Structure 1
Amino acid sequence: MTDPGFTLRAMRPEDWPDIVEMQAQPRYRWGTLQTPFRSPDAIRKQLEAIPPDEVQIVAVVEGRAVGRAQLQPGKGRRAHAGYIIMGVHDDFHGRGIGSALMAALIDSADNWLDLKRLELGVWTDNEPAIAIYKKFGFEIEGRERAYAYRDGEYVDGYVMARLRGL
């Protein structure tokens, strides 16, 4: 097997400066609900408040976190489901990081948490992300019209899900 040039590991508290830098990247932010100029301290506090049952993975290149993925398990009657959030630093697109992060989240969901439904949201114009999600068995379940305001206009989002054993 060839070296992909990155490793995956659990996110650590000391990764917060790299996460702040990632979230400040224009393409990264474009794919999220984040707004520009968020306070680094606010992002650090948000990361510190992540519940311990969430799966938090980073992709690391030369000691620097350049990709992040999280799996938020459901509670109560939604304990069979999980919500996925992912992003890759603008300078590291096209290296297989998104696919590796998704594969790791799915492994956690299927083989460790026994989740039957994985969900995510994505902008309808984010074709690279949609392609990764479809590659891993996610299907579009619905369209949310004028879901959010981005770059001076309202944009639509897709609700996508992957079902296992249902």
Structure 2
Amino acid sequence: MVIKVRRAEPADAQAIKEIYEHPNAYSGTLQLPHPSVELWEKRISNVPDNVYSYVAMLDDQIVGNLGMEVCVNPRRRHVASFGMGVRDDAAGKGVGSALLKTAIDLADNWLNLKRLEITAYTDNERAICLYKKFGFIVEGESEAFAFRNGKYVSAYHMARIVKDA
């Protein structure tokens, strides 16, 4: 099983929409259930210069998505935040790792970023383990961060900082 990661293209909108139709994908992110293809067409077609969007492919099928936004504030141009989702049926197959490796390579070797940030729900153990595997640490927690499935959920603020050599 080979996972390929590439830049997302407008033609990928339907497949990305399908990722976020999966309960774990929308429950573990700030996405809402039942996304429209028009929403994703708009997001993928109008990507600003400071945003990078990727898809992961498993057996030529799009099964994961990562979006990374570099801060435009002059005092935070060394920082990017990202979000990602993986189809429920592709979870645990290395898709998240492949997407995260791509984002980290871009951040470290091409964009000269010092800090990557992610917010993860405190009950999303799979995501938290993935981020820790790549050197992210929990920097804080926000109670009642988001409303999901009829109740408020807390989130960790995590970051990976490139240490000076």
Interval containing the TM-score (normalised by the shorter chain): over 0.9
**Alignment-derived partner of residue 43 in structure 1:** 40
Paired letter, 2:53? Q
**Alignment-derived partner of residue 55 in structure 1:** 52
Q: Cα distance, 1:147 vs. partner? A: 0.6
Percent identity for Structure 1 against Structure 2: 42
Q: Does 1:123 align with 2:121?
A: yes
C-alpha root-mean-square deviation of aligned residues, in Å? 1.2
**Alignment-derived partner of residue 143 in structure 1:** 141
- Name the SS for the 1:98 alignment partner: helix
Which consecutive unaligned segments of at least 5 residues does structure 1 have?
none
TM-score (norm 1): 0.93
TM-score (norm 2): 0.94
Q: Cα distance, 1:69 vs. partner? A: 1.1
Which consecutive unaligned segments of at least 5 residues does structure 2 have?
none
Contact (CA 8 Å) 2:119, 2:155: kept in 1 or not? yes
CA deviations on 1:66-119 (whole Å, 9 max, x unpaired) are 111122111111100000111111110111110111111101000000100100
The alpha-carbon distance between structure 1 residues 55 and 46, as it changes in their structure 2 partners (threshold 3 A), is closer
Q: Does 1:97 align with 2:118?
A: no
**Alignment-derived partner of residue 28 in structure 1:** 25
Residues matched between the structures, number: 163
Q: Does 1:64 align with 2:68?
A: no
Contact (CA 8 Å) 2:14, 2:40: kept in 1 or not? no
For 1:111 and 1:160, the matched residues in 2 are separated by 21
For 2:135 and 2:3, the matched residues in 1 are separated by 24
- Name the SS for the 1:162 alignment partner: strand
For 1:70 and 1:96, the matched residues in 2 are separated by 17
